[in-house]
């Protein structure tokens, strides 16, 4: 869980195992044990990215699992132009956005069926009470802005890597990051009573 907007210490950033290239090569040839090693090495960060986008542990788990299934199927096409983690996180990102779109469509259908029902109030856990301040600020961002902040600050990725994960040109990624910073700054000032 996030406790602030500090960059994670270098000790928390997982080092790429020297064997990873060998694992990838073996997995590309169909070695499931090698792929299992890749999954073990990357599942926590894949889950964390999905959780940041979806805000639901169950949905994040489902998306991370789907992403690994897609990665296994697409592994023969992996050329190594980017790091495996970047390639995988791009798959996670796309699956998370798909999941968000599915949820929105389902909500719209349900609202159309129950159009005379009163608008639902946000669940009590979304009221802000007891949530860490940083989490409340991140929650207010769009999914793209939230992902930009998470990838750049919490995952400690470069602009180029984060843009690749999100499937965006670098300048578009920078725009999302800039807007996220501005929104966070504004929310911070409002929270402190300075606006």
What is the reported pLDDT for 17?
Answer: 55
Domain boundaries along the sequence of the chain:
16-120, 130-195
What is the reported pLDDT for 19?
Answer: 84
What is the reported pLDDT for 137?
Answer: 81
Q: Residue 158 region, left (φ>0) first, then alpha (ψ -120 to 50), else beta?
A: beta
Torsion of CA 26, 32, 37, 41, to 10 degrees: 100
The fold of the 130-195 domain, in CATH, is: Arc Repressor Mutant, subunit A (1.10.10)
For each of the chain's 195 residues, which pLDDT tens digit applies? 333 433 343 333 344 456 899 999 999 999 999 999 999 999 999 999 999 888 899 999 999 999 999 999 999 999 988 899 999 999 999 999 889 888 887 777 666 555 544 333 334 444 444 457 777 788 888 888 888 888 888 888 888 888 888 888 999 989 998 998 888 888 888 877 766
What is the reported pLDDT for 116?
Answer: 45
What is the reported pLDDT for 115?
Answer: 54
pTM equals 0.59
What is the reported pLDDT for 10?
Answer: 39
What is the reported pLDDT for 43?
Answer: 95
What architecture (CATH level 2) is domain 16-120? Orthogonal Bundle (1.10)
Contact 189, 195 (CB under 8 A): yes
What is the phi/psi pair of residue 127, to 5°? -70, -10
What is the reported pLDDT for 130?
Answer: 44
What is the reported pLDDT for 193?
Answer: 76
């Amino acid at each position: 869980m996030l406790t602030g907007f500090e960059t994670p210490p270098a000790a928390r950033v997982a080092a790429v195992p020297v064997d990873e290239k060998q694992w990838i090569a073996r997995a590309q040839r169909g070695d499931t044990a090698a792929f299992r090693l890749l999954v073990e090495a990357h599942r926590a960060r894949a889950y964390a990215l999905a959780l940041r986008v979806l805000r639901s542990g169950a949905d994040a788990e489902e998306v991370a699992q789907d992403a690994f299934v897609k990665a296994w199927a697409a592994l023969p096409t992996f050329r190594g132009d980017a790091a495996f983690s970047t390639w995988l996180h791009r798959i996670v990102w796309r699956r998370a956005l798909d999941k968000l779109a599915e949820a929105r469509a389902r909500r719209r259908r349900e609202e159309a069926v129950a159009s005379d029902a009163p608008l639902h109030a946000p669940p009590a856990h979304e009221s802000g009470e007891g949530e860490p301040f940083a989490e409340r600020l991140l929650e207010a961002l769009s999914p793209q802005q939230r992902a930009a902040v998470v990838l750049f600050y919490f995952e400690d990725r470069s602009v180029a890597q984060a843009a690749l994960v999100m499937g965006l040109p670098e300048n578009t990624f920078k725009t999302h990051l800039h807007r996220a910073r501005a929104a966070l700054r504004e929310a911070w000032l409002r929270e402190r009573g300075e606006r």
